[in-house]
Amino acid sequence: MGIRSLISPSSSSIRIPLGEAGRAGWGDRMDPLRKKLNRVVLGPGGEFDLIRQLVGPEEPLGQGVLVGSGDDCTVLEGGWVVSTDLSVEGVHFRREWVTLEEAGYRAAAAALSDLAAMAAEPIGALLSMALDPLRASSDALELQRGVAEACRVEGIRILGGDMARSPGPLVLDIVVIGRADSPVLRAGTEVGDELWVTGWLGGSGAAVALWKQGSHPPDDLREAFARPRPRIREARWLAGRVPLHGLIDLSDGLAGDSGHLAAASGLSLVLREASIPLHPALQGVPGLGDDPLHFPLEGGEDYELCFTVAPGSLDEWVGSFQDAFGIPLTKVGRATGGTGVFLEAAEGRIRPLERHGYSHFSGEEEG
């Protein structure tokens, strides 16, 4: 793709040029960007406070490391991107809900979704598993089948990994390796930008809610949980047509993840309640309560894309996107000054979204 300008003159998109320039090393003009990127900017929440504590202050990144913590992937010179993603039995999945093959599939899909969140091309995966020694062999093979299938869908394979005994739950850690000439970061949104999402939201969270009540989710909701599709092709299609200003994947819910987007650019995002594309299979399912928006906003694990673009820039592409991928592309909000994420009701009332997505350390049990 050659060299792109650091800040495209026609937009505020922060794209890292990684063609020849990236390979030849960074010139002085890159330093302000490197400094800017070398920050951990995350939305609010106890988990993210902890991450802010864990990741050191603004120490220099390693040689050839272009983006460190605080985005979906680490970005290395030459356009390589790397991310790591945990999946824990009893937290991310339960054996009563899914087969181990499905658990492996969704763990890999979740990890691959971090490549989608950079608009990167997938290259390979490393699979680590902590296994019950008494059934290690059969469990490992079943998990691996699912991981390998999710990889195959994206045209990649398992390149390596690690295995260990676990006296507790199954734990998977999946490292994904990808490549992008111009990885799209979380930062880069400007006031006035539009916020968009791909696909239907809330299906996975609703399935979990039904399982926890002892019900069986309808097939479409179960499928949303068990076999999410990382939006890798969709992200690359979009990034190839329109400058994406900020991009993230929806792993923790629209509230929390748009909070990261807002924080990364130092502004606020206002979601229009009526525009949120609620998964159609939530309609009429008993047991989901009287606030179905809870699922897209807080449910998490939809693994759809959430991104900002300049006003009007995407409109001409909506039809062909939907034709190409068979999923909706929906404008759900806008960027304004201030901080945080707000929800605008149909009648125009705007309220701040207090709770921001699933928290691993709130004491509440998910799975």
Nearest by Cα to 111 from 89, 94, 135, 86: 86
Ordered DSSP codes for 134-172: GGHHHHHHHHHHHHHHHHHHTT-EEEEEEEEE-SSS-EE
Q: How far is the CB of 50 from a copy of itself (least distance, A)?
A: 6
CB closer to a copy of itself out of 127 and 207: 127
Among the listed residues 6, 30, 136, 278, the single contact to a copy of itself using CB under 8 A: 136
Contacts 24+ apart (CB under 8 A), 98-102: 98/225, 98/226, 99/142, 99/146, 100/139, 100/142, 100/143, 100/146, 100/170, 101/142, 101/143, 101/145, 101/146, 101/149, 102/146, 102/226, 102/227
φ and ψ at 160, to 5 degrees?
170, -165
Inter-residue contact 158 to 124 (CB < 8 Å): yes
CB closer to a copy of itself out of 163 and 350: 163
CB closer to a copy of itself out of 54 and 346: 54
Residues 6+ apart with CB under 8 A from 10: 243
CB closer to a copy of itself out of 143 and 309: 143
| Residues in region 145-174 near a copy of itself by CB under 8 A | 148, 156-169, 171, 173
Among the listed residues 130, 238, 254, 297, the single contact to a copy of itself using CB under 8 A: 130
Query: What is residue 268's three-state secondary structure?
Result: strand
Q: Which residue has the tokens 């999410």?
A: 228
Counting contacts by CB under 8 A, is residue 323 touching a copy of itself?
A: no
Q: How far is the CB of 86 from a copy of itself (least distance, A)?
A: 5
| In the chain, beta strands by DSSP E | 65-67, 74-76, 80-88, 121-131, 157-165, 171-179, 194-198, 246-249, 268-272, 305-309, 329-336, 340-344, 350-352
CB closer to a copy of itself out of 183 and 277: 183
Inter-residue contact 184 to 15 (CB < 8 Å): yes
| Residues in region 169-228 near a copy of itself by CB under 8 A | 169, 171, 173, 175, 177, 179
- Greatest alpha-carbon pair distance for the chain in Å reads 60
| Residues in region 37-66 near a copy of itself by CB under 8 A | 47, 50-51, 53-56, 59, 61-65
Among the listed residues 25, 32, 133, 280, the single contact to a copy of itself using CB under 8 A: 133
CB closer to a copy of itself out of 149 and 273: 149
CB closer to a copy of itself out of 99 and 166: 166
Q: How far is the CB of 74 from a copy of itself (least distance, A)?
A: 5
Among the listed residues 91, 191, 318, 327, the single contact to a copy of itself using CB under 8 A: 91
CB closer to a copy of itself out of 61 and 276: 61
Q: How far is the CB of 148 from a copy of itself (least distance, A)?
A: 7
Task: Give, in degrees to the nearest 5, the angle at Cα 236 between 235 and 239.
Answer: 85
| Residues in region 70-89 near a copy of itself by CB under 8 A | 70-71, 73-74, 76-78, 80, 82-88
Counting contacts by CB under 8 A, is residue 5 touching a copy of itself?
A: no
CB closer to a copy of itself out of 167 and 326: 167
Please state, as a whole number, how many other Cβ atoms lie within 10 Å of the Cβ of residue 21: 18
Q: How far is the CB of 2 from a copy of itself (least distance, A)?
A: 16
Nearest by Cα to 121 from 248, 233, 198: 233
Stretch that binds a copy of itself, among 140-148, 237-245, 270-278, 333-341 (CB under 8 A): 140-148
Rg (CA), the chain: 20
The number of residues that bind a copy of itself (CB under 8 A) is: 75
